[in-house]
Amino acid sequence: MQTGHALRETSDALLRDLDVLVTIEEEKRSLEPGDPRLVELAARIEEIARRVLQGTERQHDLTKVVNAQVAADSPRAPDASIDDTVRPIQAVLADWRDAERRASAAEPGSAEAAEANALVQGLREEYRRARDKAAGER
């Protein structure tokens, strides 16, 4: 995979995870003390936060590679910003379907369901943007 696309995928995953963190944290804040879901949601938040940290480390490594490629005038250097590097619509659809399956399989009201539903929302929006961009390029 080219570094530009790897950087885009890493950035997208970080943004999705951050959106999920906000969603789950907001839900956790609304629960009463003693609610057993507090512990479940806190554990899920911790798990996602670890994933975010790993993603930021990967992104840091990738940006070093990209900057070195640009400095060396490498033909492998990305020629667009992260935002302008489009993730293949098939990849977005595959991730969206996977998130939909996770949401359907999750116990309603669980931290897993909250995470999957937040992912579904984010991927739906990413698909819409990718579709709109593709339509504008025709």
Which domain CATH number covers 20? 1.20.1260
Residue 83 has phi, psi (to 5 degrees) of -65, -35
Q: What total of structural domains would you count in the chain?
A: 1
- What pTM did the predictor assign? 0.77
Whether the CB-CB separation of 127 and 92 falls below 8 Å is answered with: yes
How much is the average pLDDT of 18-38? 93
pLDDT: which is higher, 94 or 131? 94
65, pLDDT greater than 90: yes
Residue type, 77: A
- Mean pLDDT for the chain overall: 90
Q: Which residue range is the domain that position 65 belongs to?
A: 3-136
